[in-house]
Amino acid sequence: MEKILKTIYKKIKQYNKIIIYGHKRPDGDCYGAQFGLKNIIQNAFPEKEVYVTGEISEFVSFVGRPDIVVPTDEKDDSFYQDALSIVVDTATQDRVSNQKYTLGLEVIKIDHHIPVDQYGDYQWVDTNFPSCAQMIAYFSRQFKKFKVTKPGAVAMYTGILTDTGRFKYRGVTELTHQIAGFLLTRGADVEEIDQHLSIETLDMIRFKGYIYQNLKTTDKGFVYFIINEALRNEFNLSYEEASSTVNLLGGIQGFPVWALIIEDKNDIRVRLRSNGPDIDGVANKFQGGGHKKAAGATLKNWDELNDLIEEVHKLI
């Protein structure tokens, strides 16, 4: 077993108060790792005070609700000072949703993203894990003392599902399935979790229909759709909700590159995706960047859209 796991176990044992932090705009994996960790610590050490802190995320609220909600946190600094801070699923310090984590006596970082900031007194960072929730479940299985019960199993299974696109992305391994199977034996119910994750508002369904009806295509194989504020208002959608639809445009035969373009006040953001050529280079040319197949960019004005389309066409 990796030495760092023993160290983390020792630290958990040592502290009476443990506060678990996550990132801004928490997703299923952030909550899955936070509430999964809380579950295993509380089952093993019922006498300890264990808190989850962070923002409320509606779509994964069935996993849990933070004990200390940000930004309305009413605790003063002294509350944090005698605690062990554990930050999960967060690559950079500025992304931690509750910055009070720095007040803790010691800080542990547990993450599966490419390490950007080396923050924390102890770090367990392993990019081989496709989700942080899988790391927590893996950690729990290394120590007899830890028991996963249903709330933890639901949380961690949800984290694994959401960060792997429901076992769809390449990071999924034999271990991922073993751990998912283990969580099923601890009370995770696949149908129950799927129902929570699959439910959509009528506004969103209608919006998706609108996108399918009105997407724009070019003769070279680029497909895109423009969302402005008026359109978002028509369907009662927040900026985040509207921009989450980018993958609707993916997987269309003959269209290897797609983009969702979102206008917000004077800002024109592009979410660029590909299942063919690498498009991060194009994003770099338009004040952006990211991964080879998923990148973001910003247009200075609408005239630049034609330039972007031209750059994409060069790749297809």
DSSP-assigned letters across all residues of 251-300: T-TT--EEEEEEEETTEEEEEEEESSS--HHHHHHTT-EE-SSEEEEEES
Residue closer to Mn ion (CB basis): 161 or 231 = 161
Residue closer to Mn ion (CB basis): 170 or 265 = 170
Angstrom distance (rounded) from CA 161 to CA 128: 16
Asked if 111 interacts with Mn ion (CB under 5 A), we say no
Tell me the per-residue interface mask from 216 to 255 with Mn ion, x by CB under 5 A, - otherwise: ----------------------------------------
Reported as type and span, the H/E element at residue 120 is: none
Q: Are 112 and 129 in contact (CB under 8 A)?
A: yes
Position closest to Mn ion via CB: 29
Residue closer to Mn ion (CB basis): 40 or 262 = 40
Asked if 89 interacts with Mn ion (CB under 5 A), we say yes
Q: Are 148 and 180 in contact (CB under 8 A)?
A: no
Q: N- to C-terminal Cα distance for the chain?
A: 46
Tokens of 264: 């917000």
Q: How many CA atoms are closer than 13 Å to the CA of 199, on its beta-carbon side?
A: 10
# residues near Mn ion by CB under 5 A: 4
Minimum gap (Å) between residue 132 Cβ and Mn ion: 5
Choosing from 60, 88, 108, 132, the residue that interacts with Mn ion (CB under 5 A) is 132
User: Which region among 25-33, 72-80, 121-129, 168-176 touches Mn ion (by CB under 5 A)?
Assistant: 25-33
Residue closer to Mn ion (CB basis): 29 or 280 = 29
Q: Pairing between strand 49-54 and 17-21?
A: parallel
Asked if 163 interacts with Mn ion (CB under 5 A), we say yes
Asked if 280 interacts with Mn ion (CB under 5 A), we say no
User: Which region among 51-59, 87-95, 150-158, 295-303 touches Mn ion (by CB under 5 A)?
Assistant: 87-95
Tokens of 102: 């720095």
Residue closer to Mn ion (CB basis): 172 or 211 = 172
In which residue are the tokens 């297809």 written? 316
Which residues here bind Mn ion, judged by CB under 5 A?
29, 89, 132, 163
